[in-house]
Amino acid sequence: MAQAHDAEMGITEEKISLAGGELLLLKAGKGRPLLVLHEELGFPGWLWWNRELAREHSLIAPLHPGFGRSPRREWILNVRDLAGFYLWFIREQKLAPVDVIGISFGGWVAAEMAAFAPESLRRIVLVAPLGIAPPQGHLMDMFTVTARGYLRSSVAAAQKTPEFGSLFGGSPSPEQFEAFEEARAEAARLAWQPYMYNPSLPHLLVGARHVPALVIWGQEDTVAPVGCGEIYARALPNSRLTIFESCGHRPEIEQRERFVAEVRSFLAA
C-alpha cells in the first residue's frame, strides 16, 4: 500500500486489488464515506468543494480503470460494466449503503449504479450527469475537440471561476496531455456510440425511485443541456433538480459556496 499524506486534508493514496487488477483510491477527510466518481477527462485534482466536504465526510475517489493510473480492464466495454465494477467495489469495501457524488461522466456511472442496485446507495448527488440524451440538441461531443477545448467549454465564464485555472494541474504539460489522451481513449471505448448516453437509463431509473437524489445543473451548461436534468428529475421521483443560474457544466467550481451548501444539507439528512 503506497501512502502519501497531505497534512491539511488528510489526503492518502491507496491501491487495492479488485476485479482482476489494481484500483487506485484517493482519500481525504473524516466521517461518513462519500464515494466521489470523477469526470470524463480524469480526476481534476482536489478542489475547494472536496476540502469543504472532507470536514464531515470521508471522501473516497477511485481513479476509473483505464483513465490513467488505474489499469484498464479490457472487459469493461461500457458504462454499465463500469457501474457493475463499482457496485462490486462497494460490496468488497463493505460501504453499502453509501453516499455517492458523481460529476458529469461520473454522474452517469452513479445513475447506472442506482438503476441496478438502489439498495447499495444511501443518497446520490448527480452533478450535470451525462447518460441521458437531451430532448433538444445534443450532448457536446468531446471527441471532436481537443481536451483543452472541451475543458474551456465546460464553464460559463472562466475568468469568473477562480479554480478553473487549477483544474488538471493548471498550465498544459506533456504529462497532462498524455493523461488527457488516456482518459479520452477510455471514454471513447466506453461511450463512443451512442455518444455518452444509454437509451434504457431513464426507464430503468424509475425502478430506483426510492433513492433520494440531488440533481444539480447549470442553466448555461453547453456540454449537457439542462433539459437532460429535467429527464433525470422525472425518472427519479425522489429527486430534487437544482438549477444554478449563470452557471455552466461545473457548478462545483463555478458556484462553489452554493454547491457545497446544497450538497452538505442534502447529505446531512
Partner 1 sequence: MHIMWFSERAYHFDPETQSEQHRQFENEVIRRRSFFGLPNSMCEPEHASRLLNQYLDEKLYSEELGFDGVMLNEHHGTPFCLGAVMDVEAAILAKLTKRVKIVLLGNPIPTVANPLRLAEELAMIDLIPGGRLVAGWVRGAGSEQLANNANPAYNREYLEEGIDFIIKAWTTPGPFRYEGKHFHFRFINPWVLPLQKPHPQFWIPGLVSPDTVIWCAKRRYPYIALATKLAPTVELWDLYTKIAAAEGYQAGPENFGYMQPVFVGHNQARAEALGERFMFGGGFAHFARPEWMFPPGYNSKEATRRLARLNSGPNLPGKPIHRSQGNETEEEIEAIKREIYAGYPQARKELQMIAGTPDYVTKQVRKVLEVLRPGIFSFWIDGPLSFSDRRECLRLLATEVLPAVREFADELGLEDPFARKAGSRALPADGKPAPVAQAEMLKQMAAVA
Report the interface residues with partner 1, using CB under 8 A. 143-146, 149, 174-175, 177-178, 181-182, 184-189, 192-193
Q: Which is nearer to partner 1, 17 or 193 (CB)?
A: 193
* Strand blocks (E) in the chain: 12-18, 21-28, 32-37, 57-62, 98-103, 121-127, 213-218, 239-244
Q: Which is nearer to partner 1, 95 or 179 (CB)?
A: 179
Residue with cell 446520490: 124
List the grid coordinates of 4: 502519501
Residue with cell 455518444: 195
Q: Which is nearer to partner 1, 175 or 245 (CB)?
A: 175
CA angle 204, 210, 214 (to 5 degrees): 90
Q: How far is the CB of 74 from partner 1 (least distance, A)?
A: 9
Q: Which is nearer to partner 1, 180 or 266 (CB)?
A: 180
Q: How far is the CB of 183 from partner 1 (least distance, A)?
A: 8
Q: How far is the CB of 111 from partner 1 (least distance, A)?
A: 23
Q: How far is the CB of 21 from partner 1 (least distance, A)?
A: 17
Contact criterion met (CB below 8 Å) for 63 and 88: no
